Each structure stands twice: as C-alpha cells, then as structure tokens.
Amino acid sequence: MRHRDTIELYNYWNEVRGSQPAPHRSAIAPAGLGRLLPSVLLLQTDESGVPVFRLAGSRLCTLRCAELKDTPFAQLFAPDDAKQIEKGLNTVLRNGSLVVFDVQALRSAGAGVAMEIALLPIDDERTRILGIASLFTQPEWLGIVPARFELRGVRYMDPLAGLSLLRNRPSVPVPRRRASDAKESAHNLQVIAGKGEIGPRRALRAFRVVDGGKK
C-alpha cells in the first residue's frame, strides 16, 4: 500500500470489521467513506461467479470514459494480464486476503500514469469485494481518451498484518512481453533441410538486389 487513499480505505475497512475476518456489507456506509467515494469500487459476483462492478466511482469511470456498472473487473486490463487478475480476485474471494495491483494507466499513444488498485474482502452473499483505484498523478488527458490498464506488479497481504508491514510489502513484478519480441518472432524463418526436416528459427536478414545490367 503506497497511496494515502488506499491506506485510508484500509483503516476504515479495518475499523468496521472489528474482530471479524471481513466486515459485513451492511457495515460499509457511504458517509464513512467520505472523500474516497469517487475512487471507491464494489464488486459482486454474477450468476456465473465472475466479479463484476456493482459500483464504480466517478474517477474510475472518467478514466475509462465509460459507465462500468455490470462490467467484469478483468476487462479493465490487457488480455495478457487475465491469469494474474483472476488469481488476485480468487485470493480475495476464497482466502479473504488483501490484494493490491500496481497498474499503469495508458492512453492509446504515449506514456501513462501509475495507479494502485486495492481489493479488500466483504462478508456478503453477492457483494464480495470493496476496493479503491488511486492515481498517483492526474493526467491531462483524463476523461478525454479512455485509458487501458497494464498490470505491473501484485502484492498479496495478510489482513492480520499491521499497517506498517502492509505499507512496506514489496510488489511482485509482472513480466510483460515486449513489442520487440513479437517483431523478432515475426521476422524469423524456419529452415527446411533437404530431407524435409525443419530446423530452428533464424533471423530474416534484408536482401539487397543489384542490377546486373542484363535485359
């Protein structure tokens, strides 16, 4: 946990749960969330068990330039992140752990901004997760172009740990496939030997045509 809004939500969640592993949905009051409301999210499971937005704060909707109600949470992220996101959601739903995603919010072209999405368990039949999405800086393109999310790191946290430990918990980096990797793969050739055996891929080198002068 790095962002002050994440820490403030955790403190509220920790207070209302008391001695329970997680607070009941009825204990979460909008008045108690105060200034955090625009960044807060609630996830519920649909009929197939997929976590979807029951509520998404205005800041998150503005960042995506869309209303997110009933949208699967995982759809916010790049397809390559699907397994990590599913693992994180299941950790909250099944184990009652806290999960913090380190995310890069990117516009269609150009650099993005760092953000933190924290997910905390709720004791309820359908609404199972309370969360918050916090930008570390506000981009000038906010609300103009929809951001796409890329997962850069994950932190799994024991809810019984103290706040000082949670704040210093290191993030596990999520490796990403570089665009250059795809280009390199696309420009490789497989050499077929005389007996029809396929050899290893080799880099495709540029050919140079020299005019020999013949007509």
pLDDT confidence of residue 160? 77
Between 118 and 163, whose confidence is greater? 118
SS3 of 12-47 = HHHHHHCCCCCCEHHHCCHHHHHHHHHHEEEEEECC
pLDDT-derived band at 199 (thresholds 50, 70, 90) equals low
**Tens-place pLDDT, residues 94-138:** 999 999 999 999 987 767 899 999 999 999 988 999 999 999 999
- Residue 23 clears pLDDT 70, i.e. is over it: yes
Considering only CA atoms, which of 177, 130, 132, 131 is closest in space to residue 150? 177
Cβ atoms of 134 and 63 within 8 Å: the answer is no
Measured between alpha carbons, how far is 111 from 91 in angstroms, rounded to an integer? 31
Q: Output the six-digit token pair for 38.
A: 């625009």
What is the set of domains in the chain, with CATH numbers? 4-173 (3.30.450.20)
Range of lowest pLDDT (9-18, 54-63, 157-166, 180-189): 180-189
Q: Output the six-digit token pair for 23.
A: 């607070």
pLDDT-derived band at 214 (thresholds 50, 70, 90) equals low
Nearby residues of 212 by Cβ (< 8 Å), 6 or more positions away: none
SS3 of 100-122 = EEEEEEECCCCCCEEEEEEEEEC
Measured between alpha carbons, how far is 131 from 188 in angstroms, rounded to an integer? 44
**Tens-place pLDDT, residues 55-64:** 999 999 999 9
Task: State the pTM of this model.
Answer: 0.79
For all residues of the chain together, what is the average pLDDT? 83
**What are 154's strand-pairing partners?**
101, 172
Range of lowest pLDDT (30-39, 41-50, 91-100, 151-160): 151-160
Q: Output the six-digit token pair for 104.
A: 């890069």
Cβ atoms of 123 and 62 within 8 Å: the answer is no
Identify the three-state secondary structure at position 199: strand
Range of lowest pLDDT (49-53, 73-77, 143-147, 201-205): 201-205
